[in-house]
Amino acid sequence: MKKLAGILLCAILVTLAFPLAASADMGPKPSVVVDFKDLEGERFYVTMLAQEMQYGPHSVPDAAAIRDAQEGKTPEEYAAYLKLAQYEDADGYHFWQVYSDCSEAKRFVWGYYPPERFKLLLYFPEADRLLAGPVSERYAFDSYFTATVTGADAPAAIRMETSYDYRSEAIFFAARVVLTLLAELGIALLFGLREKKLFGFIVCINMLTQLALNLALSVANYRGGPQAFGGFYVLLELGILLAEGLLYTACARRHAQIKATPKRLWLYAAAANLFSFVLGLRLADWIPAIF
């Protein structure tokens, strides 16, 4: 048993020795993604107006910034920049110099320090027309919206709706639970915990703890993103390790026919949770979509 535990621990340490991918800017940042409907065949540019004059690397352009913005842009792109920069919003929202031609993709993505509260501003160069949307607000670390532009002969209004992909999140949630559950049950077999009553109890406890863990991590990731996910991950795994160790040993004491010692059960709980923790980190690195 000691040899098996040593081999497992060495394997986990080797896995941890290889660094996980990391951002050069201290971790991921919130994002806003807007998909557009009812704009087929339209040429349009999109930005998000903000109440603040400056936030992170973004700011309202001064005369020098407007002059320098011409560098690297086509005449049409610069003309769109000028139109967006000159727009005066009645509610005091400002242009932060981030904009995109969304004519083909029908999607606008602001992935680096987007404003908390914002208005969409669209520019239609062919009609030389600007159209501002309602005040909207980020609701998650990665906020998704669908913007429907309505009107008769020309765009006249923008309706914003949240469009977070809860269906995919549910699928990814199930995938995380199944993968970690299989990993921990596999470790139980490696530790020789094959007695029917004990193994059935381990299955039930692991199902409950993995459901609770992944539900909590999903909420943390939804509200706070990967950094909150990582912070909660460590604390929750420690709590689950303690709970599982206590429950496994209580089960063994209650049923005299179970031969596994408390030491073996605690060692299994520690090894299984450490392995699933490392596996979770690796999966987040290899398959980030499911986290």
What's the CA gap between 227 and 197, in Å, rounded?
A: 39
Q: What is the pLDDT of residue 188?
A: 93
The share of the chain scoring above pLDDT 90, in percent, equals: 53
Q: Is residue 237 classed as helix, strand or coil in its secondary structure?
A: helix
For residues 242-257, give the mean pLDDT: 90
List the beta bridge partners of residue 161.
146
- Whether 121 is in a domain gets the answer yes
What is the tally of structural domains in the chain? Answer: 2
- 167 vs 131, higher pLDDT: 131
What's the CA gap between 263 and 245, in Å, rounded?
A: 9
Q: What is the pLDDT of residue 79?
A: 96
- Same domain for 137 and 180: no
For residues 243-249, give the mean pLDDT: 93
Domain that holds residue 261: 166-290
Last residue of a domain, one of 162, 185, 207: 162
- Whether 71 is in a domain gets the answer yes
What's the CA gap between 184 and 148, in Å, rounded?
A: 46
How much is the mean pLDDT over the chain? Answer: 84
Q: Report the candidate in 226, 218, 122, 233 with the shortest Cα–Cα distance to residue 170.
A: 218
- Same domain for 283 and 182: yes
- Whether 8 is in a domain gets the answer no
- Same domain for 186 and 157: no
List the beta bridge partners of residue 147.
36, 160
Which residue is it, tokens 């077999």? 189
Q: What is the pLDDT of residue 23?
A: 36
- Whether 16 is in a domain gets the answer no
Q: Which pLDDT tens digit goes with each residue over 153-197?
A: 555 689 999 998 788 878 888 888 888 889 999 999 999 998 888
Q: Read out DSSP for 160-228?
A: EEE---HHHHHHHHHHHHHHHHHHHHHHHHHTT---HHHHHHHHHHHHHHHHHHHHHHHHHHHHHHHHH
- Same domain for 149 and 204: no
- Same domain for 154 and 78: yes
- Whether 136 is in a domain gets the answer yes
Q: What is the pLDDT of residue 62?
A: 94
Last residue of a domain, one of 162, 197, 221: 162
- Whether 19 is in a domain gets the answer no
- Same domain for 115 and 45: yes
Segment 10-19 long-range contacts (CB within 8 Å, at least 24 positions apart): 12/274, 12/275, 12/278, 15/278, 15/282, 16/278
Check pLDDT > 50 for residue 26: no
Q: What is the pLDDT of residue 80?
A: 97
- Same domain for 175 and 138: no
- Same domain for 184 and 99: no
- Same domain for 197 and 154: no
pLDDT-derived band at 124 (thresholds 50, 70, 90) equals very high
- Same domain for 132 and 245: no
- Same domain for 264 and 188: yes
For residues 108-114, give the mean pLDDT: 91
**Which range, 107-111, 227-231, 278-282, is most confident?**
107-111
Q: What is the pLDDT of residue 228?
A: 67
| pTM (2 d.p.) | 0.65
- Same domain for 122 and 199: no
- 221 vs 148, higher pLDDT: 148
For residues 12-32, give the mean pLDDT: 51
For residues 21-40, give the mean pLDDT: 70
- Whether 153 is in a domain gets the answer yes
For residues 259-285, give the mean pLDDT: 85
Q: Which pLDDT tens digit goes with each residue over 77-99?
A: 999 999 999 999 999 999 999 99
Q: What is the pLDDT of residue 12?
A: 46
List the beta bridge partners of residue 47.
99, 121
- Whether 209 is in a domain gets the answer yes
Q: Report the candidate in 64, 48, 265 with the shortest Cα–Cα distance to residue 138.
A: 48
Last residue of a domain, one of 141, 162, 183: 162
Number of H helices, E strands in the chain: 6, 10
Which residue is it, tokens 């993505």? 109
Check pLDDT > 90 for residue 213: no
